[in-house]
Amino acid sequence: MDRPNHRAEAPSMEPSAKFFCCSCVRRYLPLAYREELYHILRMTGPLLVCRFLNFLLFFVVTMFCGRLGNTVLAGYGMASATINVSSAATGLGLTLACDTLVSQTFGSKNLLHVGVILQRSILILLLFCLPCWGLLINTQSFLLLVGQDPDVARVAQIYVEAYLPAIPAIFLYQLQVSYLQNQGVIIPQMYASVVANVVNVLVNYILLFWWDLGVHGSAAANCFAQVFSCFTLFAYIRLKKLHVKTWGGWSSESLQEWDNYMKLAIPSTLMLCFEWWIYEIGGFLAGMLGEVDLAAQHVVIMLAYINYMIPAGLQGAACVRVGNALGAGDTAGAILTSKVSLICAAALAIIQGLVLGGTKTVIGFLFTSDETIAELVSELMSIYCPLQFFNGLLCVGMGIVLGTGQQKIAAIANLIGYYFASCWLLVGPFNSSLLVINLFIVIIFKLNWKKITEEAIERAGKGKSRGLSQPEFRSNHRLSGSFFIALNHLENQNGYTAVNSEEVDEERSTSLAQERLAEVHEGEMRNENSISTSQNKMTQEGGMSKKLSSHVSAHHQKRTDCSNCSPYTQWRDGCTFYPASA
């Protein structure tokens, strides 16, 4: 009787087989890395589409404003800058705390606590609308104070006043996005963005061309687009009942632990604002340049913003994956996500740089027909292309930091890199990213992941007493100084095995000790069978010699430290047994 061909069937059982069907890639890229890369890219695609659709909302408004005259367009630009600095950046920064809390809590499977976090976030952000409104209603006075044209300031005031109802809508929309995204649900916000863009075009066309409302119509359409986006996403969540598992109704718990939320929210706001404000300041100073220089600078900024969407999608995916892993106690999973996401960001940034560099002589003509401006854009792109590599890494690094909840350190890094370096070294914001990304990489790889995992479990409401739980392996253990993470690159088993090297405490009961010993014995037998099956498969495929197989087997069975192995051997053989703090 013919034996079944397991080699042909095994790849189809792996989710990553959809992306990595090439046998060469499967041979040299370990399964754990393939699976993680698959999940990251699967989230990045929809997130990229969502960010592009959100960008179109403002792009459409800009196009319609341009038909109303230069004064209206300039007024809209001033209004947008004022809203971004005073409300959008700070409000979005407050919602970043929700990214950390929801991702870690959802990863811990404490689902009802996710709803409590959402309620607490809603209350805090609605209260924050009051100071935002207070600043925005004085926009005209502020612009006149800094010497802006009175007509431009007047138009900006009209836009801002019409935009006031959209402030809570923006905050609530971002909260809903964070609530869904950190549960791995991306498609609803993409659908909502598509509908909102269609309605945005129709409303602008009706108010400006049919009813001829001018600047008031444009301002009203801008506000309506934001409010409609918020209610569309809310309606989708309600109709599809995406909230059922995590929403237990309004609870008095939402009025508690505001201090814990603000400990993350305030550093998150500063982290985002330090980066956002430096570009707004650069745009304001660009007004001192000549007309040609200013136009070229605007084109490069627009290209940089579009180019930034790809690492921004990776940022969201990295934040979700790292936060979910830490909340579940999967320290090695969080480390693996950090490495894979940074490598992926670097690879994509290289491709983006090659595309921009190859089209720099013609890309300027997409925005202007002036050859002088297009030539200057080409010169500026020669500078921007290598810098966007570091900007992409910085964006993804920020997502990793958000997932770990270390916003305070990131805020300090942004302050040092963007402001101290810019002032003392006289470099621009793009050059400052060189220093900031170096700080972020040092921060990420010097993190005490063991301590961060404990903090994530505490935030998730599970408590230290419950330890870390891995459903795939059912291994209950406590974090300790001798906590080791074993990364198994097995073709028929994906994940991380957490091993506690401490002996069972003497205070534990005999029955509990026996139960744990039986559990460990069962896990070892299962691992040995998995390793044996994996080695047989690799031998048939010719992917590994007997010497390497025995080397890996010996390390996996003895669970010793493989830190003396070369990096290539660690990558190829999967013999990566390290302490959690590494």
In the predicted structure, residue 576 carries a pLDDT above the cut 50 = no
Round the average pLDDT of the chain to a whole number and report it: 77
Average pLDDT for residues 181-206, to the nearest whole number? 92
Pick from 253, 203, 244: nearest CA to 224 = 203
Tens digit of pLDDT for each residue in 355-401?
A: 999 998 888 887 777 788 888 889 989 888 888 898 899 899 999 99
Average pLDDT for residues 409-413, to the nearest whole number? 89
Cα–Cα distance for residue pair 307/52, rounded to 1 Å:
10
Tens digit of pLDDT for each residue in 463-493?
A: 543 444 333 333 333 333 323 333 333 333 3
- The pLDDT of residue 532: 54
Tens digit of pLDDT for each residue in 505-564?
A: 333 334 444 444 455 455 555 555 555 555 554 444 444 444 444 444 444 444 445 555
In order of 98, 101, 110, 180, 252, the CA distances from 116 in angstroms are 11, 11, 11, 14, 9
Contact 171/28 with Cβ under 8 angstroms? no
- The pLDDT of residue 227: 93
Q: Which residue has the higher pLDDT, 103 or 550?
A: 103
- The pLDDT of residue 457: 92
Domain ranges (residues) in the chain: 36-256, 296-467, 470-503+510-579
The whole-model pTM stands at 0.74
Residues in the chain: 582
pLDDT band at 121 (very low <50, low <70, confident <90, very high): very high
- The pLDDT of residue 367: 74
In eight-state DSSP terms, residue 505 is P
pLDDT band at 566 (very low <50, low <70, confident <90, very high): low
pLDDT band at 326 (very low <50, low <70, confident <90, very high): very high
- The pLDDT of residue 503: 34
Tens digit of pLDDT for each residue in 296-308?
A: 777 888 888 889 8
If you write DSSP's letter for every residue of 213-275 in order, what string do you get?
Answer: -HHHHHHHHHHHHHHHHHHHHHHHHHHHTTTTTT-----GGGGS-HHHHHHHHHHHHHHHHHH
In order of 479, 514, 526, 546, 560, the CA distances from 517 in angstroms are 18, 5, 14, 32, 20
Rg (CA), the chain: 26
- The pLDDT of residue 278: 79
Structure tokens at 222: 């801008």
- Count of alpha carbons within 13 angstroms of residue 230, beta-carbon side: 16
In the predicted structure, residue 169 carries a pLDDT above the cut 90 = yes
- Identify the top-confidence range among 234-248, 431-445, 473-487, 497-511: 234-248
**Burial degree of 176 (CB within 10 A; 0-12, 13-18, 19+):** buried
Q: Which amino acid, one-letter code, is at 504?
A: V
Q: Which residue has the higher pLDDT, 501 or 580?
A: 580
Residue with tokens 């330890």: 467
Tens digit of pLDDT for each residue in 27-53?
A: 777 788 888 988 999 899 999 999 999
If you write DSSP's letter for every residue of 197-220 in order, what string do you get?
Answer: HHHHHHHHHIIIIIS--HHHHHHH
In eight-state DSSP terms, residue 468 is B
Residue 243 has phi, psi (to 5 degrees) of -100, -5
Contact 165/132 with Cβ under 8 angstroms? no
Sign of the Cα torsion 529, 534, 539, 541 reads positive
Residue with tokens 């935009």: 163
Contact 460/105 with Cβ under 8 angstroms? yes
